[in-house]
Amino acid sequence: MTRPTTDAVLEIDALSKTFGGVTALDAFTMSVRRGDIVGLLGPNGSGKTTSFNAVTGIFPPSGGTVRFDGADITGLSPQKVYAAGIARTFQRSRLCLPLSIFDNIMIGNHGRLTKGLWFNLMRRRAFRREFEQGYEDARALVRTFSTALADRLFEPVGALPMIERRRIEICRALISRPRLLLLDEPSAGMTHDETTQLMDDILDVRGRIEGLSIIIIEHEMGVIERITDQCVVLNYGRKICEGPYAHIAADPEVQRAYLGAE
């Protein structure tokens, strides 16, 4: 089944990544339409996180192209990929634990902060205005997830439970107003109820931000069924199936590879 790609925000074409002799990603092709939530599935080691890392420039792909909003972003540095409008979270939480919630979210806002030394050190009045603006933005964003958390912005992240950390991580990715959000297993290490809450948050965020597309790596089938518009299944670095949840769930190869059916 082919989908129209005219409104595609992200087009990955024949993307490959090899580490020495190991092919982690093998001619992987997928596209994401504007406003869609796409689930990326596959057993452990099937290349899901590798595809995120290759897209965001953590390491350069071995082959293939990545186009974002029509522009070729293949092999760009992480900084440039971020500047283009792609933000992500990480499988293993990568927050700065000793820093405050506000600090962590502002790291995500780096692209819009004034970084000049003179401005930061000497023009303290102007800095204060920028700080207050940042505070209002961060607070408004955190409030969409949790009002209680929005009143604790100057507490260290290290003291928070996992679900709050995940929320902060998503806020850090969203504050830069990206057009594409990559969520790498946001439910890892959380209980069933926490996962449900977080997915509600994600759906809510998608509803609020016009045109935001999301790719989410997730293992739990119930979650995938509930929140995704499209799914892509990987196995041994290769795409084995794509389509809406009902389609991939019924696919015999997916069942063999992923659901563990004989």
Nearest distance from C-beta of residue 186 to other proteins, angstroms: 15
Closest approach of other proteins to the CB of residue 141, in Å: 15
Closer residue to other proteins, CB minimum distance, 7 or 151: 151
Give the residue with the Cβ less far from other proteins, 91 or 196: 91
Distance CA 56, CA 126 (A): 33
Of the two residues 95 and 234, which places its CB atom closer to other proteins in the complex? 95
* Integer Cα distance of 184 and 88 in angstroms: 8
Q: Helix 101-108 vs helix 124-145: angle between axes, to the nearest 10 degrees?
A: 100
Supply the minimum distance, in Å, between the C-beta of residue 67 and other proteins. 19
Nearer residue to other proteins within complex by CB, 1 or 121: 121
- Site residues for other proteins per CB under 8 A: 56-58, 77-79, 81-83, 87-88, 90, 94-100, 103, 106-108, 110-111, 113-115, 117, 120-121, 124, 127-128, 130-131, 135, 139, 151-156, 172, 176
Task: Answer for the pair 187, 195: CB distance below 8 angstroms, yes or no.
Answer: yes
CB 99 to other proteins: min, Å: 6
